[in-house]
Amino acid sequence: MFPSYLQTPGVSRPTSVLSLVLPSTSEPLRETGTVETHGPLGTLWTGLGLGAFYTALIWVNLLLGHMLTPLFILPLTWIQDAMIKRRSRT
């Protein structure tokens, strides 16, 4: 099922591009059972940053909608007025 070089200890694996990028899996990973944490202040700081980011994102989207809408509506009203004038002349 597996190639023989994976089953035989002491036999080196063929070199591939992935073996140059990924770490070697021949040694078992060291598990210490600890989780990296930055404490409650790190969590609060991250929460404030994400809250500010999403508030700015909503604000920009509302501002764009408020400012860009007239740029499309005004020319459309001019086109409609021109079409109405053309119809009334004929």
pLDDT digits (tens, 9 = 90+) for 69-80: 888 899 999 999
- Residue 19: what pLDDT? 58
> Model pTM?
0.45
Sequence-distant contacts of 21-29: CB under 8 A, at least 24 apart = none
